[in-house]
Amino acid sequence: MDPLNLKKLNSARAKREGAVLLTNLGDGRDRLIREGEEVAGALGEAVEKAMRSGKSGVFKGGDDEFFINAHVPPGRIVVIGAVHISQALAPMAAIAGFNVAIIDPRTAFATPERFAGVDLHAEWPEEVLREMPLDRYTALAAVTHDPKIDDFPLAEAIRAGCFYVGALGSRKTHGKRVERLKQAGLTDEQLATIAAPIGLDIGAASPAEIAVATLAQIIEAFRRRGLAS
């Protein structure tokens, strides 16, 4: 690998940015392509597919053959609220390959006994997200139903460009939430990106079913996300 490309790749990894190392299998020359960088034609489509899926592979175009080595940060789900939905969502999300973190300042809910083996933070989101900032490879699900806890991370997720932002609550509850977030400086266009009520519409009733619907919606958003420009 070209030392300069290695330096660029390490920089992308440190910033949790996606990148592809494109190597011409004929002459050995390589090129680093960061997420959002345009590549023309069928090769560009193959690069974009690798960026979305995180899967590497060989692409043959004309007389040239390339190895597309995808370096994509692991998807992460940050759940605001240590509730029953979170208890069901955390193990399922881990099985699906996501890193999971749960944040809830309510120490009666955020206990190791209820969330064994989970990255649990019994602190206010403002404090946690200062040390663990959100990014484009993060999904945020706010499920406390408490504006004092949910509103700040929702606004932060939108500003950070998280690939998914979802919030629990009825349409009436969400309408009030939208008005509060507008007062915090967010636009109608930004607020329209919030998935609310949270999860795919599968008629979910129990906390476990809501967790299934939410995880499915997160996976859909991750695989169909727009790439940074």
Same domain, 143 and 186: yes
Domain assignment of residue 228, yes or no: no
Same domain, 98 and 206: yes
Domain assignment of residue 229, yes or no: no
Instruction: Tell me which H or E stretch contains 27.
Output: none
Three-state secondary-structure class, residue 47 = helix
Residue that is last in its domain, among 30, 50, 71: 71
- pLDDT at residue 229, as a whole number: 45
- pLDDT at residue 120, as a whole number: 98
Single-letter residue type at 171: R
Provide the CB-side half-sphere exposure for 70 (13 A, CA).
18
Same domain, 143 and 96: yes
Answer yes or no: are the C-beta atoms of 162 and 188 closer than 8 Å: no
Same domain, 58 and 137: no
Residue that is last in its domain, among 71, 93, 122: 71
| Domain count across the chain | 2
Residue that is last in its domain, among 48, 71, 94: 71
Q: Which strands form 64-71's sheet, in the order they lie side by side?
A: 30-34, 19-24, 64-71, 57-61
Same domain, 85 and 46: no
Q: Which domain holds residue 187?
A: 76-223
What would the two tokens of residue 192 be? 């329209």
What would the two tokens of residue 172 be? 């009436």
pLDDT band per the 50, 70, 90 thresholds, residue 173: very high
Helix/strand/coil percentages in the chain, nearest 5: 40, 20, 40
Instruction: Tell me which H or E stretch contains 190.
Output: helix 188-191
- pLDDT at residue 228, as a whole number: 53
What does pTM read for this prediction? 0.85
Report the distance separating Cα 133 and Cα 185, nearest Å: 20
Q: Which of 41-45, 103-107, 213-217, 224-228 has the lowest mean pLDDT?
A: 224-228
Same domain, 88 and 47: no
Mean pLDDT of 11-27: 88
pLDDT reading at 84 higher than 90: yes
